[in-house]
Amino acid sequence: MLTIKVITEQRDEVIRRLAVKHFDAAEIIDRIIALDKTRRVSQTALDANLTEVNRLSKQIGGLMKEGKRAEADEAKAEVSRLKETNRTLEADKTQAEKDMHELLVLIPNLPHVSVPEGTGADDNRCEETGGTIPELPADALPHWELARKYDIIDFELGVKITGAGFPVYKGKGARLQRALVNFFLDCARDAGYVEIEPPYVVNAESGYGTGQLPDKEGQMYHANLDDLYLIPTAEVPVTNIYRDVILNEADLPIRNTAYSACFRREAGSYGKDVRGLNRLHQFDKVEIVRIDRPEHSYTSLEEMVTYVRSLVEALELPWRILRLCGGDLSFTSALTFDFEVFSAVQKRWLEVSSVSNFESYQANRLKCRYRDADKKVQLCHTLNGSALALPRIVAALLENNQTPEGIIIPKVLVPYTGFERIS
């Protein structure tokens, strides 16, 4: 959530930068500024009236002692009038604050100055590529057929048990899943991230804190009776650890990692691009989260990008990094880098990670702050990234590493899987 200070002091700049996200902010910004003026005028009048009430209240006792009953009654009447006025002023201020907050949560985060112009995925800018795209024979199989051939993922059984988008991993498929999770967690630990095991359901306050609510409630599974939400990513519970917390500057940056199952409704998703593991309603992911000082957060972002790159390189997958354009940037992000790996059978790039800096946008909603060297309390910056999401990693590993003798497991995973190939 943007701060009132930024909106009121940088109106034109806020409108200009939000236009990069194709968000027309002029009307809503001006309404917020008008409401803030109402709030401040009401508060000023309240403060003045309270001062006058205190002065008159002290005066009344003296007037009564002096026998000036008429003057005391007049002062009492004025106190009553001021208190009635204050009730109206307080109601006006409260309503203005409520209306202002309802508008503030509708405004997306400001994009970083380095975010390129663009309307969608085709306008994202490729920053770097690596790895070698394998040359496969014409009869190479897509991962969903490999899964059936080697009996490692059962999509139909998932439909029977739950529905489409909930596959069942079996045998070496299940062991590959577990191996990837453990490998990613061990790498994160070695990189200085503290592991968290979070809940998989969160309350509405947590969803609001990281920006899933009120923007994305239609994409989240909601347990109506308890008013709890299944998490779309471990980012939500892990970042909310620091909701309503004032940290010490010396403790920053905080680095956390967490494995979780992730649940996404993905309403409206259909077609060949969502086949197999390409888009699921439930999937496994390891997340990295950082809480940092504003002046250091972009250094943290670079470090996180470098770290995620090391993971895809270790898995020997062809990869590329995209800087997302304004039209493809999420509601809450200031700057995002997407990682994609190449599917040699599907002949397309598959997104496996997004690494983002949210600057103070989430922190303002969370009231996640730190006390600096001068004892001044300031908003933190929050960052997170997938490190990594499993489904499309598995899809690329199965497709790219297939041979007549079976599917070759990357060397770094063999100590975790306990086998070198799926056959």
Check whether 205 is labelled as a binding-site residue. no
Check whether 41 is labelled as a binding-site residue. no
Cβ contacts of 44-47, under 8 Å, gap ≥ 24: 45/85, 45/89, 46/86, 46/89, 46/90, 46/93
Check whether 132 is labelled as a binding-site residue. no
Residue showing tokens 């790039």: 349
Check whether 114 is labelled as a binding-site residue. no
Closest to 302 in 3D by CA, of 253, 370, 262: 253
Check whether 382 is labelled as a binding-site residue. no
Closest to 354 in 3D by CA, of 324, 311, 319, 390: 324
Check whether 16 is labelled as a binding-site residue. no
Check whether 286 is labelled as a binding-site residue. no
The answer to whether the CB of 342 falls within 8 A of the CB of 349 is yes
One-letter amino acid at 7 equals: I
Nearest-Å Rg of the Cα atoms of the chain is 28
**Strand order across the beta sheet in which 201-203 lies:** 201-203, 228-230, 222-223
Q: Is 42 helix (H, G, I), strand (E, B) or coil?
A: helix
Six-digit token pair at 245?
Answer: 């917390």
Check whether 306 is labelled as a binding-site residue. no
Q: How far apart are CA 350 and CA 52, in angstroms?
A: 67
Q: How far apart are CA 203 and CA 143, in angstroms?
A: 36
Check whether 264 is labelled as a binding-site residue. yes
- The DSSP bridge pattern shows strands 406-408 and 421-422 to be antiparallel
**CA angle at 304 for the pair 388 and 281, rounded to the nearest 5°:** 25
* H-assigned helices in 66-125: 69-104
Check whether 352 is labelled as a binding-site residue. yes
The answer to whether the CB of 223 falls within 8 A of the CB of 197 is no
Q: How far apart are CA 320 and CA 370, in angstroms?
A: 35
The annotation places the binding site for ATP at 264-266, 351-354
The annotation places the binding site for L-serine at 233, 264, 287, 384
The annotation places the binding site at 233, 264-266, 287, 351-354, 384
